[in-house]
Amino acid sequence: MNETNWLTCLDPTPMLRFLQDHRTSERKLRLLMCACCRQIWDLMPDPRSRAAVEVSDRYADGEATPRELARARGAAVPVKGGAATAAYWTANTKASGPLLEAFGAAESALARQAAQQARYQQAAASWEAAQEASQRFQVALIREVIGNPFRDYPLDPLWLAWEGGTVGQLARGIYQDRAFDRMPILGDALEEAGCDHEVMLRHCRSGDEHTRGCWVVDRILGAG
């Protein structure tokens, strides 16, 4: 994997393997799996599966204990299967281990849903198209959380100090409240503070879907 491959890849698998091999933080990988599960939230309506994801999400930031995580994972076992399998793996003690399994379960669940909704003679084509669509979403999700691991975008302390720390306050509010509709506001604040990293500004203003673990927000908050 190199920078060109990372930016053009259409398959999440080599990207996920790269993250595993390069010791990406457990927090990042856990938030990545949680975001993947939220992509298929409607396909796992059982509250035990959803609780597993929610506890894992809190565990990533030290807001849930190992015992709570283990309890949530155990509760998710009876409903494990299909989309719920992704939720079960997300509550694993070590996020880097079942990363591929969680993403694979989510991809298969979406493809299976599309095939079931299609006519019989179109099922195979629908399955393939749904897999490709799911993979595109997952690739975008990986880039949303990780950014470009081959580039560094250092923050000038003056940007963070601007207007009494407005940039950091905005980023913290976005993260805590899941208020990703404020991302363009964060981009404007960064630019006004003097930020000239076009990639960061464009990411804030892209209109694409954002999630907890967004690499720009994490960069501002100093979270790894």
For 171, the 3-state DSSP assignment is helix
Which has the closest alpha carbon to 204: 187, 222, 191? 187
Q: Cα 144 from chain centroid?
A: 7
The DSSP letter of residue 198 is H
Q: Token pair for residue 193? A: 């503070």
The string of pLDDT tens digits covering residues 183-204 is 999 999 999 999 999 999 999 9
Mean pLDDT of the chain: 91
pTM for the full predicted model: 0.88
Which has the closest alpha carbon to 160: 106, 220, 205? 220
Give dist(CA 56, CA 66) in Å, integer: 10
The DSSP letter of residue 16 is H
Which has the closest alpha carbon to 183: 210, 162, 146? 210
The string of pLDDT tens digits covering residues 51-103 is 999 999 999 999 999 999 999 999 999 998 889 999 999 999 999 999 999 99
Residue 136: predicted pLDDT: 86
Q: Which residues contact 99 (CB under 8 A, 6 or more apart)?
A: 16, 19, 20, 29, 32, 33
